[in-house]
Copies of this chain bind each other. A is one copy, B any other.
Amino acid sequence: MAYRETEKMRQRKAEARKRIVDCTYQCVAEGGFRSARVTRIAGLAGVATGTIYRHFESREDLFAEIFRLATQREVDKVAEALASGGNGAERLERALRQFAERALKGPTMAWSLIAEPVDPKVEEERLAYRKAYANLFEKAIREGIEEGCIPDQDARQSSTCLVGAIAESLVGPLSPTQISQADSATEENNDPLVNSIIRFCMQGLTGTRR
């Protein structure tokens, strides 16, 4: 025999793959999944169309991976906020704010993750994504209940409601029609929005007005 995959080759392939992933990410962040064409991605990544298919089963699979990746970033940030100090309610509030503010900062990607119509495999990822948030929130609620700063309740249900309330509140501001005339990047503008979302959420959670 002659050719055997060597480290150098493995690396080169990995680089190409990464380039494909990065370019896809960029395309999606610019215009969402729907408008990200395989051809364009290949062009940006400097490979032939066919090469995409040596790294991914299908466009849908590629997209699913991108979704997972983008998701992970967001979820990690929220997890981070939840890991910081303070009691359960405070940590949750910080996490909710993180979620909303990050979405408003990268609106197209956030819209793709939250509301863009996507293919089934990607939609599946989306369910997982929302569940990931819910799980984080649920855990924090449980802790808050133990600490006594959050009244006893169905933590799973409440966490789902939190995700829904935020997502829904963001759909309007994030949808492409809104975005194109965007004042985005002007972060202060969004504070009132974020604040009122959070007020509702925290009240739903704690039953306490502020």
Chain A residues close to B by CB (< 8 Å): 117-119, 123, 127, 130, 151, 153-154, 157-158, 160-169, 171-172, 175, 193, 196-197, 199-201, 203-204, 207-209
Contact = CB atoms under 8 A, between A and B. Distances in A.
Contacts of A169: 157, 160-161, 164
Given A168-B130, A168-B168, A209-B207, A200 B123 contact: no
Sorted nearest first, the 4 A-B pairs with minimum C-beta distance are A164-B168, A204-B204, A117-B117, A161-B165
A91 to B, nearest CB: 19
A199 B204 CA distance: 9
A188 B169 CA distance: 31
Contacts of A208: 207
Given A168-B168, A172-B127, A175-B127, A200 B161 contact: yes
Oligomer: number of copies? 2
Contacts of A154: 196, 199
B209 A151 contact: yes
B127 A117 contact: no
A163 B193 CA distance: 16
Nearest to A207: B209
Nearest to A151: B209
B207 A161 contact: no
Contact of A164 (B127, B165, B175, B193): B165
A161 B197 contact: yes
Contacts of A161: 165, 168-169, 197, 200-201, 204
A42 to B, nearest CB: 25
Contacts of A151: 209
29 contacts: A117-B117, A117-B123, A127-B172, A127-B175, A130-B168, A154-B196, A157-B169, A157-B197, A157-B199, A157-B200, A160-B165, A160-B169, A160-B172, A161-B165, A161-B168, A161-B200, A161-B201, A162-B165, A164-B165, A164-B166, A164-B168, A164-B169, A164-B171, A168-B168, A201-B204, A203-B203, A203-B207, A207-B207, A207-B209
